[in-house]
Structure 1
Amino acid sequence: MNLPHEPDVAFGVHPDLGVAAAVADDRPHLDEVLRKHHFRYRRDLDVYLLPEGTGHNTAVRTVAAATREFHDAGLTVAADPRIMLPPSVPTPDGVAARTTQPGQSLTALTGELHELRRSADVVEVLEQILDEHHGAVGDLEEFIDTAAAWCERLDTPGGRDLGQHLRTIAHHVAFLGDRLADAQLDLSVMPDVTPQDAPPLADVPLPARHEVPSVAQTARARAAVTSSPNRPAGLPAAPEAPRSTPAPPGPRRTR
């Protein structure tokens, strides 16, 4: 493969086979690092490919991890920015798919907050989270709704119950988005600039949060009350982890 500017490694997107990597020469270290990150060499194409079915997020993380390792070794890497574009979400016939855009990292947006001094700039960061078409809140709501549909498609009592539970969670996410929008409006009318003598944001302690059972704890508690071949139905069941009373769902956010 002819590589512009001859980087040591180049990552790109094959139209049919997904993320691919090409190397400038046959140095063993290049092959070793790519194989460590699950790339496998295709001699007929002269490129390295990830296993078939590798998810988009996994592929992006893999490219990032391999790139860091190459950089640490003093090697040059080129990457096609289209690697960051997620695949479109399947839609019913006649419904246009949403235009795919690179995902926004909440970690990166949190990092931006540490550098901002004007309230208007913080309002803009919140807008990236609340954006109707590509914001994190709307994307999370759609993801949970899709997970609920997956559970309901099992067509079992447990699947239907879990689907309903997930849809309730999606309502809570929409309610959260509405509350964040309220906070965004309040912030827009607050004093514009942080005082020069204000402490660095990293030095301001975060508020204490109430502890809630982790997902793993809740799953184990539910499993404990379910009869199985390993626990006769007559034995006493372990108590289920307590649940907090859910807040009333707000109006659904339209996408």
Structure 2
Amino acid sequence: MNPPYEPDVAFGVHPDLGVGAAVADDRPQLDGILRKHHFRHSQDLDVYLLPEGTPHNTAVRTVAAASREFQDAGLSVAADPRIMLPPPVPTPDGVTTRTTQPGQSLTALTGELHELRRSADVAEVLEQILDEHHGAVGHLEEFIDAAAVSCERLDTPGGRELGQHLRTIAHHVALLGDRLADAQLDLSVMPDVTPKDAPPLADVPLPKRHNVPSVTRTARARAAVASSPKHPADLPAAPEEVPRSTGAPPSPRRTR
């Protein structure tokens, strides 16, 4: 559908050239705002383009910031919604490519990490994950807290126990956020030492994780037989957990 008027600025995306902008005329104000946000005019194409290699999330934030400035100046803006679509996450040969969808910010940021080489850029991505209002860590903590409330509303011993267990997990997520914040600060001041000929991140295998022992299944079993519309109260009690082997303790969990 064609708009009823021609906007002053229109943003779009090209599969090879990335995000670009077209202007209705050669007013200096339009040129000045676009250049302020790192767009550069291409004489051959007569459009404004971001620098080659600009990460996806950076391009989205740039379009949003430039659009706000245009609108604050009383100018009309149009933007192709496909600008919001994140690129697919690079994967090694033989591994199924993970499909990304709008709104899956963590997936988009993971894909963006594969394009970065400077520690300051990695720090910027981590900062987005830790954002107080939109970061993935805060959203995960909020989700787990909501799950805990749902369990506690069952008003059964198993539900209350699971609720407390989930609140403990939410606390660990908050601690994880603190650890990530420390790493983000270290990265922001770390000198760039990655060689230019270093292999892409997608080709570098991740460190092997230690096996993490399974948590007790007692609470899960109790909740399964607790009184509810699907589990009548006269079901037999949950069996106690089988004692664990007295062998060597499992390896502690490592954070990467």
TM-score range, shorter chain: 0.3 to 0.5
Could you state the TM-score of these two structures normalised by the residue count of structure 2?
Answer: 0.47
Larger C-alpha radius of gyration, 1 or 2? 2
Could you state the TM-score of these two structures normalised by the residue count of structure 1?
Answer: 0.48
